[in-house]
Amino acid sequence: MNQISEAPSLVRSMSALTKTAWTPEFANYFKSSWNDIVEWQKANKDALRELVKLDGIAPVVQPVYHNTVNPSVGIRLHGINKWANENNINIVVHVHFNDYPRKNASVAGTYTGFSIYVPGGQFFNSTSTKAVANTVFKRLAKYNPVSNLRGERSGIIEEQDLIAIGSNNSVDAASLLIEYAYIYEPQLVDPKVRELYLKEIAYETYIGLLDFFDPAGALVEAKTFDTLTLPYKWNNQLTGKNDSPQDVFALQTALILDGVYPPAGLSSNECPRTGKLGPCTRSALQTFQHKYDINNENGIAGPKTIETLNRIYSARTL
Ligand SMILES: [Zn+2]
């Protein structure tokens, strides 16, 4: 569980983890309620088994491989669910970054993109969670590739077996788990880009939650640009050499809004926002330049391209 930073219109947001530890409220709760959590978890399991027997609920089938969780982590995750029930929490959002088992973990894997896990359709919190997941999905999908792992391609995946989102039908609150990207993707590997990217996806998620909880607020918040990256003022030409990652990340974001990124014939999995001016961005720039009648700046952002970008994307105008 994690909070979406700066979410003023959500009544109360609560974070379970800091960078290094559980927050005190949760650390204390785990300590004082450990045995209760274990009991509660068993009771939920029995209750679900009973439901399966009475043929109300189908047994668990896992669509995607998941790491088995260390038992004490499992109890803490169950503890968060129990705590959420006891505190009448409306929504629990788990912030994850994805990976999968592969031979050489120091080499980037095959899959890229984000996915959102929601409780199985027969669980009590499934309908509400799916409604929230849909609005968050739309905001994220506008700027980020959806996972191309076979079981994740639908973007929103029903799961009955993930503790985090209420396995054994145990959570009352809407409970979603967002896998934002695979950990080896370029926007996470480069620290400078990572910083921009993490703020950006937090913002996109926040707007997506607002779409559900406060649609009018979402409209106001995302009036001209529904991204934290824009408006943006470019001061330098971008040539593919020694460019500022921030300039290129903003350029890629603007090109997405302009409808030219990813370039024709390529997917957003092949062309995520990387903060680097590579073949995807060059090709998109060519289309952009054609569209705005810019000549002689073939695939780099020269003075005329920068001027055009600044005219369209450097101010909040309506
Ligand atoms: Zn995960």
Mean pLDDT (whole number) for 133-142: 98
Q: Do 203 and 69 fall within a single domain?
A: yes
This prediction's pTM: 0.90
Q: Do 210 and 125 fall within a single domain?
A: yes
* Phi/psi-derived region of residue 265, left when phi > 0, alpha when psi is between -120 and 50, beta in every other case: left
Q: Do 127 and 78 fall within a single domain?
A: yes
Contact yes or no for 104/172 (Cβ under 8 A):
no
**Burial letters for 22-35: b for 16+ Cβ neighbours within 10 Å, e otherwise?**
beeebeebbeebee
Q: Is 251 helix (H, G, I), strand (E, B) or coil?
A: helix
Number of structural domains found in the chain = 2
Nearest to 221 by CA among 1, 8, 3: 8
Q: Do 217 and 253 fall within a single domain?
A: no
95 domain residue, yes or no: yes
9 domain residue, yes or no: no
Q: Do 162 and 309 fall within a single domain?
A: no
Q: Do 196 and 273 fall within a single domain?
A: no
Residues 280 and 159: their CA atoms lie apart, in Å, by 35
Q: 225 C-alpha to center of ligand 1: Å? A: 29
Query: 214-223, 281-290, 308-317: which has the highest mean pLDDT?
Result: 281-290
- The last residue of one of the domains, among 221, 237, 268, is 221
Residue 10 pLDDT > 80? no
318 domain residue, yes or no: no
Q: 97 C-alpha to center of ligand 1: Å? A: 6
Write out the residue range of the structural domain in which residue 209 sits: 24-221
Contacts of 156 (CB under 8 A, 6+ apart): 115, 116, 118, 130, 133, 134, 137
- The last residue of one of the domains, among 206, 221, 236, is 221
Q: Do 171 and 274 fall within a single domain?
A: no
- The last residue of one of the domains, among 187, 221, 255, is 221
Q: Is 217 helix (H, G, I), strand (E, B) or coil?
A: helix
Q: 81 C-alpha to center of ligand 1: Å? A: 16
Nearest to 157 by CA among 243, 43, 61: 61
Contact yes or no for 157/116 (Cβ under 8 A):
yes
Nearest to 41 by CA among 10, 13, 75: 75
Count Cα atoms within 13 angstroms, Cβ side, for 209. Answer: 24
CA-CA distances (angstroms) from residue 113 to 63, 90, 104, 181, 282? 17, 27, 20, 5, 22
For residue 90, the domain's CATH number is 3.40.630
Q: 162 C-alpha to center of ligand 1: Å? A: 10
Tokens of 221: 């918040």
Mean pLDDT (whole number) for 108-120: 95
Q: 49 C-alpha to center of ligand 1: Å? A: 26
Q: 100 C-alpha to center of ligand 1: Å? A: 9
Confidence band, pLDDT 50/70/90 cuts, at residue 1: very low
Q: Note the pLDDT tens digit of each residue in 49-100.
A: 887 777 666 665 666 667 777 888 889 999 999 999 999 999 999 999 999 8
Q: Do 178 and 263 fall within a single domain?
A: no
Q: Note the pLDDT tens digit of each residue in 26-53.
A: 999 999 999 999 999 999 988 888 877 7
Neighbours of 180 (CB within 10 A): 24
33 domain residue, yes or no: yes
Q: Do 213 and 271 fall within a single domain?
A: no
Q: Do 79 and 157 fall within a single domain?
A: yes
Q: 179 C-alpha to center of ligand 1: Å? A: 6
229 domain residue, yes or no: no
Q: 183 C-alpha to center of ligand 1: Å? A: 10
Q: 182 C-alpha to center of ligand 1: Å? A: 10
